[in-house]
Amino acid sequence: MSQYNRRQVLAAAVGAPWIASASAPAGAGSPIRSVRCGSPVPLADNSGDTWVAAWADDGNLYSPSDDTDGFHKAGSANIAFNRIDGSDPLQLSGVTVNPMPDYGKGGGRGADGCTWKSSGCTSIDGVLYWVVARHKYGEDSGDASKRQPASNASIIKSTDFGKTWTRPAKENYDTPMFPGSRFATPYFIEYGRDRTTADGADRYVYAISNNGFWDNGDDMVLGRVRRDRIGALNASDWRFFAGGDGARDASWSPQLAAAKPVLDQRGKLGMTGAVYLHARRRYLMAGWYYPAGGGKLKDACTKTVWDFYEAAHPWGPWTRIGSQEFSPQGYYSPEICPKFQTGDRVYAFTAGNWNNPEVYRLTVIPLDLA
């Protein structure tokens, strides 16, 4: 696997045009004005999607994978948990720590017609937290665009780097933390291992969720929980941004129904999350969608668009600063890694078209920032 040692526009690699970026508004820190994608680097001997890098206290990255065989053919699974090793972001390797057998084999459905899938994952004060939820595949969902709806999310935790998890699958199925679809795909706002007081991150853990779709969601809402209470895994500890100045406690409601979208782009917000860039004191998020509609529409999976957004605070305002089309690989569910950051480069974890084993695997894409 060759080292990426020059800046390249991914358009040259995949034959897609770079879409001109917009200017970001003035605000705290150094606004990100554009994002340029480099060449994709796939990791060897793995399969799956929905990779999310959590930077743990042992210095390693940990990531879930969905619809997966994990690394080195660890076994078919709806969800699995993996360790990602290496000090060079473009020469990483991995091992499956736990294939999560209680959550079923890949594609395995329950009595509700849904499968287990995951979204956010993070490390907080030595503990790994991971979101699991019930998803119905787009071909069976009844959605007009064959989108994949999500519902009934729960947070699980591990104190031994993913070997064992608290809140078993049956409890998450019977009594989910967040019933319904409004907060079904939360991704934790990633601050990495560099402690910061930005936006109260020393006191709160933030998570952002679309309106309950793996692909082509419509808007995003923001929740938070006290850092010293996240481990209780109690939904009643969470508060939701209801508008106004997010630095004020009065802007947060215990009622999920009171949540106001922090970003609204109908049909263009597949599930994703944001990362804090310490060098810039800004937040960056890669939104994504299938231009054809839901990913299970005919040939939709061969083309995606990533929209890049930046903000001074988790509650926004979020500004689109550029877009990138991926075809025929259709890279999706991107999540920006909290490790390996500099002021002008970060790295996205992603996977591509599940019909093509060459791209349906953990893939790292450098993102150059201006």
Give the model confidence (pLDDT) of 49-88 as tens digits: 999 999 999 999 999 999 999 999 999 999 999 999 999 9
Mean pLDDT calculated for residue range 278-286: 97
Quote the pLDDT of residue 195: 83
Inform me whether the pLDDT recorded for 10 exceeds 70. Answer: no
pLDDT over 50 at 154, yes or no:
yes
Q: Tell the burial category of 261 from Cβ atoms under 10 Å away from its Cβ (0-12, 13-18, 19+).
A: middle
Identify any residues that bridge with 289 across adjacent strands, giving them in sequence order: 305
Instruction: Please provide residue 19's backbone torsions phi and psi, each rounded to the nearest 5 degrees.
Output: -95, 130
Q: What is the pTM of this model?
A: 0.93
Please state whether beta strands 252-253 and 238-241 pair in parallel, antiparallel, or not at all (unpaired): antiparallel
Least Cα distance to 118 among 74, 84, 154, 142 occurs for 154
How do residues 98-148 score in pLDDT, each as one tens digit?
Answer: 999 999 999 999 999 999 999 999 999 999 999 999 999 999 999 999 999
pLDDT given for residue 28 in this prediction? 64
Least confident range from 22-31, 41-50, 273-282, 307-316: namely 22-31
SS3 label, residue 173: helix
Dist. CA 358–CA 130, nearest whole Å: 27
132-to-8, 99, 108, 217, 243 alpha-carbon distances in Å: 36, 14, 15, 18, 27
Strands 219-226 and 238-241 turn out to be antiparallel
Rounded Cα gap, residues 364 and 41, in angstroms: 5
Question: Do the beta carbons of residue 290 and residue 302 sit within 8 Å?
Answer: no
Taking alpha carbons only, the member of 120, 44, 127, 185 closest to residue 336 is: 120
pLDDT-based confidence at 194, cuts 50/70/90?
Answer: confident
* Three-state DSSP class for residue 46: strand
Mean pLDDT of the chain: 93
Q: For 330-349, what is the mean pLDDT? A: 97
